[in-house]
Amino acid sequence: MNKRTQTRTARRAGAVAISAEAVKQDRHFVEALARGLDLLACFRRKDGLLGNQELARRCGLAKSTVSRLTYTLTKLGYLTHVEEAGKYSLGTATLSLASSMLGRLDIRKLARPMMEELAGFSRCLVSLCSRDRLSMVYVEVARSSATSVTLSMDTGSRIQLPNSAAGRAYLSAICEQERDEIMQSLRAVAEEPACWPVLQEGMAKALLDLRTLGVCCSFGEWQKDINAIAVPVRPGNNLPPMAISCGGPAYSVSPQFLLDEVRPRLTALANSLEKSVGTAD
């Protein structure tokens, strides 16, 4: 597999790029475990069954390695093998892990009514997001019933980390060292060298926006026809920061509307949530 193909594969999987040299130097890093988890991360919400060949392509691993991983994960219940198709789906053991994690997110239940109220006012998609590797994952979504056209995103959907409003809000909330490590991982999987300065510029602007505006913005930068703003929020329970975003189609949701009308409501929502979970300053 050539370098360009590996780059595309890493981006699809949302994997954090870890160099072979870094792994070799870290005696605590269990590479076999990492490969197994990377394989599970290849499954997406809209996927049906995946075979070893497709999994190998997505993971960037040899098919023989993937075959051993799928066999082991099936034995442990993390995958289910559908014999007639010769392919795999996620098993019930992964559901147990997800349920345990979501059960700790008390903030989801608290956020839901406030997110619905904001969605009704803004006629936008309002989402609560958490980071997974180099992606942001929607863990709660609210949309207005009055909205004629909505983003086709739901719980479990993924968006890009560096140029989405939610991703920028998350990156703005973490410490500088962690942010630098993630940015270097993004640099490692960038398909074109010219992408890196753009990512750096976008991150610098996000930090400035959060200081001056109280929100992070993405106006046509994640997708050219989507405008969104987002704020970081601390969920409590010793969990890392999350982000709440509000956005919609550029033809109906202007940057001015988001900044003038939505921004104060979004920041108030985040402040209210942090007070409820006990993380407010």
Task: Please state, rounded to an integer, the average pLDDT across all residues of the chain.
Answer: 85
Per-residue pLDDT, averaged over 11-16, amounts to 43
Q: Are 123 and 248 in contact (CB under 8 A)?
A: yes
pLDDT tens-digit readout, 80-129: 999 889 999 988 788 777 666 665 667 888 899 999 999 999 999 999 99
The pLDDT assigned to 148 comes to 46
In 3-state terms the chain splits into helix, strand, coil percentages (rounded to 5) of 50, 15, 30
Strand, helix or coil at 104?
A: helix
The pLDDT assigned to 105 comes to 63
Residue 50 bridge partners (DSSP): 88
Q: Are 68 and 107 in contact (CB under 8 A)?
A: no
Range ranked top by mean pLDDT from 104-118, 191-205, 241-255: 241-255
- CATH superfamily of domain region 105-277: GAF domain (3.30.450.40)
Q: Residue 228: phi, psi to the nearest 5?
A: -155, 155
The pLDDT assigned to 22 comes to 55
Quote the CA–CA distance of 19 and 144 in Å, as a whole number.
Answer: 44
Q: Are 269 and 118 in contact (CB under 8 A)?
A: yes
Listed residue (192, 229, 246, 152) closest to 11, CA to CA: 192
Listed residue (150, 131, 151) closest to 139, CA to CA: 131
Provide the token pair at 213.
């505006």
Task: Say yes or no to pLDDT of 7 above 50.
Answer: no
- The secondary structure of 81-100 as a DSSP string is EETTTTEEEE-HHHHHHHHH
Alpha carbon of residue 191 to chain centroid: 19
Per-residue pLDDT, averaged over 227-247, amounts to 93
pLDDT category, 233, cuts 50, 70, 90? very high
- The secondary structure of 224-252 as a DSSP string is TTEEEEEEEE---TTPPPEEEEEEEETTT
pLDDT tens-digit readout, 146-155: 554 456 678 8
pLDDT category, 272, cuts 50, 70, 90? very high
Task: Say yes or no to pLDDT of 18 above 80.
Answer: no
Using a pLDDT cut of 90, give the percent of the chain over it: 54
The pLDDT assigned to 12 comes to 41
Q: Are 183 and 201 in contact (CB under 8 A)?
A: no
Provide the token pair at 238.
């010793």
Torsion (CA) 79, 81, 82, 87 in degrees, nearest 10? 80
pLDDT tens-digit readout, 24-80: 567 788 888 989 988 988 887 777 799 999 999 988 899 999 999 999 999 998 899
The pLDDT assigned to 145 comes to 72
Label the pairing between strands 226-233 and 216-219: antiparallel
- Ordered by start, the domain boundaries in the chain are 3-96, 105-277
The CATH architecture that domain 3-96 belongs to is: Orthogonal Bundle (1.10)
